[in-house]
Amino acid sequence: MGFAVLAYDGEDAEAPARRMAARDRHLAVLTQWAGDGRLAFGTPLLADDGRALGSFMVLAVPDEAGLRDYLAAEPFNNTGVWTKVTHFPFRIAPLPYRPLPQPGTPLAPRRTHTVVIARDGTDAGAPARRQAVRAAHMARVAPMAAEGTLALGGAILDAPDGTMIGSAVVIARDTDAGARAWLAEDPYTTGGVWQETTLYGTRFAPLPWRPLPGAPG
């Protein structure tokens, strides 16, 4: 169990400068939280031109107190870098993920992955549609985690330990077109589960990440 934070930078002319001014402090907080296991994953959201749009963070904390602690410590949240912050209960799917890049790994010069936020339908039949194809979806993504195509995946919940109402996945696709092609073949798409998807480019920061749930070692 945990929480995901989806945060958006301002759109004014000074927004990039605010991010750069707080970046070192932001990375220091991420390094601490990743090192002690409270931050399971974190990555920027990038526009097509490489400009930062915001951040996607996955917290391995047991309750909302941990979420509040993170937001209180996060420089991007406290210095006006993020001007809109949303969060939701999130459960990482335990899969054989490959290790995330550790300190010393060179930062990729451009987008390497895509963050997908996929929302289920809100009609009465939505839970049944998800359940009907969930096994097929998991069978598809498990080998993709092992080979590195799926860097992270999990369920958006309506409440802690609640009902699944969507998914967040991070896939090794460096264009929106490639990401949409991947999504088009997933049982959650062909089975009518995912009704609304939003894509963001990203690249990974090398930090002292702990293994994700289900990852070897």
CA pair distance 136, 126, nearest whole angstrom: 16
Q: Which two structure tokens, joined as six digits, stand for 3?
A: 């929480």
Amino acid 51: pLDDT: 92
Q: Residue 27 is which amino acid?
A: L
pTM: 0.96
The four Cα atoms 69, 24, 206, 38 give a dihedral, to 10 degrees, of: -10
Tokens of 203: 């690249």
Measuring CA to CA, which residue among 33, 48, 203 is closest to residue 115? 203
Could you give the 3-state DSSP secondary structure of residue 175?
coil
Which superfamily, per CATH, for 2-202? Dimeric alpha+beta barrel (3.30.70.1060)
CA distance 159 to 38: 19
Q: What would the two tokens of residue 74 be?
A: 């996060």
Phi and psi dihedrals of 141, rounded to 5? -85, -20
Beta bridge partner(s), residue 197: 118
* Angle subtended by helix axes 64-73 and 15-35, to nearest 10: 130
Selection from 157, 158, 155 nearest residue 169 by Cα? 155
Distance CA 189, CA 149 (A): 18
The half-sphere exposure of 216 on its side-chain side, counting CA atoms within 13 A, is: 8
The one-digit pLDDT tens for each residue of the chain (217 residues) are 799 999 999 999 999 999 999 999 999 999 999 999 999 999 999 998 899 999 999 999 999 999 999 999 999 999 999 999 999 999 999 999 999 999 999 999 999 999 999 999 999 999 999 999 999 999 999 999 999 999 999 999 999 989 999 999 999 999 999 999 999 999 999 999 999 999 999 999 999 999 999 999 7
Q: Residue 147 corresponds to which amino acid?
A: E
Closest CA to 10 of 73, 88, 77: 77
Query: Would strands 164-171 and 113-120 be described as parallel, antiparallel, or unpaired?
Result: antiparallel
pLDDT at 166: 98
What pLDDT is recorded for position 217? Answer: 72
